[in-house]
Structure 1
Amino acid sequence: MNLDFLQQELWGNSLMVYLRFAVILVLALLLKKYITAIFTRLFFTVFKKFSADYYGQQFKELLLRPIEGLIVTIFFYVAFNQLSTSFDKLILFKRMKPVKEAGQEVASRLVTLMDLVDHLFFLFLIFYFILLLSRIIDFVIMVLLHKATEEHDRGRQQIYPLLKDVLKVVVWGFGFFTVLGVIFHVNVAALIAGLGVGGIAIAFAAKESLENLLASFMVMIDKPFTIGDWIKVNGVEGIIEKVGFRSTRIRSFDKSMVSLPNRKLIDSNLENFSERGMRRVKFSVGAIYGLSQETLENTISAIKNVILKTEGTMGQPIVHLDEFGASSVNILVIYFVSAAPETDFGSVKEKVNFGIYEAMYQHARGFAFPTQLSIDGSDVNEVVPPAATQE
C-alpha cells in the first residue's frame, strides 16, 4: 500500500501528524474506562489491607472521575504535542517593553498557542491530582467512620468529619498555591509573606467565620456532646449529626435539619439529655366515674404491665390514682425512655400509647370525656323569694 500521500503537508504539518493526533484522541476516548479500571484496582490493592473487600465499589466510585480525568488529560496533551510545530508558530499575543537605547518597543515574550496548551495541561493535571488526593481522604475517613460506628465510639465519629475537612482544606490550599506558582509564575513565598502582613485585615473581615472555627475546636476539646447525643440549645432540640468548621448540624425530632453556628454552642446554655441516659414521659389518663376500686386497681396494673413490656422503657413506671377531675377520675402515668441513639423515642411512646388505649377499653370501659346531665326539679333560689318574683 502506497502511503506517500501521508507525507503531504497541510498548515505546516504532514497528514501523518494529523493522523497520529486523531488516533491518540480516539484511543483516549475508547480506552479511558479500561485504563481507569486497571489503575483503580491497583490503587485498591494498596488500601485493601486498611479496608475490606466490600469497600471496593465505593472506592471505585470515588476515584473514577479523578483517574479518568488524569488519563484523558495526558492523552490529550500527547495528541496536541503532535501539532506543536504549528502551534509554536501561532502567536496569541506579544508582551512588549520599551528599550531605552533604541527608544522603541520590542517583543520581550511571545505567547503562542502551544504555551496556552502547556498551561492548560498543567492546570488540569494539578486539578485532577488534587481531586484524587481529596477523594482518597474521603475514602479513608469513610472507612474509619464505619469502624467507629461499629465500635460505638461516638468520640471518633465526631472528630473524623472535622479531620476530613481540615485535611481537604490543606490539600486544596496546596493545589491553589501550586497553580499560582507553576502556571501563573507567582512568587508564592512573597505572596504568603504578604498575606501575613494583611492577615489582620482578613481576620477582621472573617471575624465570625474565625469565631466559629475556634468554637469547633473548643467543642472537640471540651466535649459537651458527641455525635448522636440529644441536646437542646437556643431553642433547638434534636440529635447531633455533624460538627463542621462553621456550624453543627442538628436533626430535630420532626426530621428537619438545623445548622447552628458553633459559637452559639459555647455562648448559650446547652442541655445534653443523653448524659442523663433517659427521657421522662408524663401525662394523665381519665377514667369514667362509677368504676369500682377493684376495676381502677386492675386498670392501673394493666397500664404498668404495658409500660414494662415495651422495649426501650427504663426503670419502674409510676402509675397511680391522682385526682378527681370535673369529668373523670385522673390516673397519673410517668415512665422513662432510654436516650440511647438506637432508641426511637417516638416509636416507643407510640407503642405505650397503643397499649394504654387497649388497656383502658379492656378494664375501664374506655375513656372519660366532658358530659352534662339534666337534673329534674325546681331551681334553687335563695336570693329572690317566689312571691316577689310573681309581683
Structure 2
Amino acid sequence: MNTSPTHNRTELEQLSKPLIKKVAIIGAGLGGLAVAIALRKLGYDVQVYEKAQDFRPIGAGLGLFPNGLNFLDAISPGIVETIKNSGCVVKTSVLKNIQGETIRANPANSYHNYGHPLTTVWWWRLQQILASQLPAENIHLNHRCIGFKQDEHSVNIFFENGKQVSADLLIGCDGINSVVRDTLIGNGQPRYLQSMSWRTVIKYNQEILNPGELGFVKGNKDFMFLLNVGEDYISWVYRRFSPDIMISKNAEDAKSLVLSNIADWGESLRSLVEATPAAQIAENPICDRLPLNSWTRGRVTLLGDAAHPMSPSIGQGANSTFEDAYELALCFSQASRIEDALANYEQRRIPRTKLIQNRSALGEMSYYATDRTEIDKQMQEQSNMTSEEFQNWVFNYKLDQSLNPVNP
C-alpha cells in the first residue's frame, strides 16, 4: 500500500485498508479491465485472465452515456477525453426511413446536462484504451477459466491450459455465459428475447451519416443503428424480430440473410451491408438473464454482464458495468472485512441493475411493438417512473468520492 503523507491522499485512499493483496479477474472485456484499473489504485496486485489468444479487432460500435463516462472519468481521470478523440461525440440523432432518407433530426445536446455528451466508439478501440492503462504483464491471454474452488482463506482458479492460480478475491467479468457465474450459481441458459442481431464495424466512405450523427432506421419488425465510431469507421447493427433463434450455417449465409431481409431498403443501406466482408459480421441472439438477489459467494463475486446481462435496447450494458467497477473498488476502500465490502457492493448495485435489466427487456420488445401503449404502461409500473424520469435517474447517478491513483 501507499505510504505517502496523508495530505496527498484522497478521502477514498485514506479509507483504504489492505483487506486483500491479490485479485484475479476473469475476462479482459470492458468491465474486467475497468475494475482492474480501479483496484490497482488501491494498491492491490490485480491479474486479469482472458480466454482469447489476442486482442483482435472485434465488436461493434457502442454508445457511452453520461453515467458510464462519469464513472470512467472517476476511475481514470483524463480517459474520457481519449475516448472522445478515438470515437465520435454525437451532436445529432437522426431517424431514417428504409430508403435512407432522414425523417427527423434531434439535437443530442441534453446529455451535457449530466456531465458528458453521448459518445459512440468501437468496442475494440475502447478495450485497447482501457488495456493501455494496465501493465502488459498483468493481462494474461489464452487463459480460459474452467472453474474454481475456495475456502475461507483464498480462491484457487483453474484454466484449460493446465495452469492454476491462487487469489484473495475472484471477480467474474466473463460475460453472459460466465463460467464463474455458472460455477458460483449454476442458473442455466440465458433467456432469449425473440430478437436476432447482426453487427460489425467497417471503414467505409459513405454519405448515410454526417459527422457527429447517430442514425436509426425503422423497418417492419426490424431496424438498424448506424454509428460513427471515429476515423471514418462506421458501425451498423441490424436487428430483427424472430420468435426462434436462427443461427446461420456460415458467415456468407449470415450476410445473405441480412441482404435478403433488407432487399426493399434503399441502395445506400444495402450497399453498406454489401461492402462488409462476411467474416466481419457477428450474428447473435439477443439474450438476458433474470435479475439475481445475490452475486457473491465467499471470496467470489460477479460484475457487468456476468452479474446482470441485459438487452442493449437502452444502451446500459457497458455503462452500468463501469458503475460496477467503480463501486466495487469504493466498497473495498471503505470496509474492514471482505464480507462487508462485498455485501455493500451488492446492496449498492443490485437494486439499481435490476431496474435497468427489466427496463431493457421491455425496451427490446418495444422496438417491434405495433402499439407501444401496453409496453409503456408496463415500464412505468415496473419502476414508478416515466421514460423521462427513468432517463434522468439513470444518467444522474452520482459518485460518492473521487477515485484517484495511488503511487505504488
TM-score by length of 2: 0.22
Greater RCO (CA < 8 Å, at least 6 residues apart)? 2
Larger radius of gyration: 1
